[in-house]
């Protein structure tokens, strides 16, 4: 399968703590993207990291990519209750095909 796999499947933390989610994949990619989904809604793009990049930041988000290990991590710092959602990584192949993992369900307790 070309889908990424997120780990852990579920994560419960207190407000203010950091949340780290991981994504592993199997074949070479063009880029890797992270998305967020609130319950019953469409996905919202968070951040894109290209195969020749190692780290990107956007606000409280930090993404790393290790192509030798075929893995990526998403770090949310100083989490808030509003960050409660499911987070998905998407691996992109042939610049047109997007494959999503099964997601990490994050619960941030106030």
List interacting residues with other proteins (CB under 8 A). 3, 30-31, 33, 35, 40-45, 48, 50, 88, 90, 92, 94-103
Q: How far is the CB of 16 from other proteins (least distance, A)?
A: 27
Q: How far is the CB of 102 from other proteins (least distance, A)?
A: 4
Residue with tokens 């307790």: 109
Instruction: Please identify, using beta-carbon distances, which residue of 73 and 91 lies nearer to other proteins.
Output: 91
Instruction: Please identify, using beta-carbon distances, which residue of 18 and 51 lies nearer to other proteins.
Output: 51
Residue 99 CB coordination number (10 Å): 16
Q: Quick one: which of 77, 68, 73 has its CA closest to 87?
A: 73
H helical segments located in the chain: none
Residue with tokens 């994949």: 25
User: Checking DSSP bridges between strand 19-24 and strand 97-100, what pairing results, if any?
Assistant: unpaired
Structure tokens at 24: 């592993």
Instruction: Please identify, using beta-carbon distances, which residue of 21 and 101 lies nearer to other proteins.
Output: 101
Q: How far is the CB of 17 from other proteins (least distance, A)?
A: 24
Instruction: Please identify, using beta-carbon distances, which residue of 19 and 43 lies nearer to other proteins.
Output: 43
């Amino acid at each position: 399968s070309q889908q990424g796999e997120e780990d852990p499947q579920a994560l419960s933390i207190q407000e203010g703590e950091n949340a780290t989610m991981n994504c592993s994949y199997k074949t070479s990619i063009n880029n890797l993207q992270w998305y967020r989904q609130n319950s019953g809604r469409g996905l919202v793009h968070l951040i894109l990291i290209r195969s020749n990049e190692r780290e990107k930041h956007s606000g409280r988000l930090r993404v790393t990519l290790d192509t030798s290990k075929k893995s990526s991590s998403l770090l949310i710092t100083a989490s808030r209750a509003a960050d409660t959602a499911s987070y998905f990584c998407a691996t992109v192949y042939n610049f047109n095909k997007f494959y999503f993992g099964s997601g990490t369900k994050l619960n941030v307790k106030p």
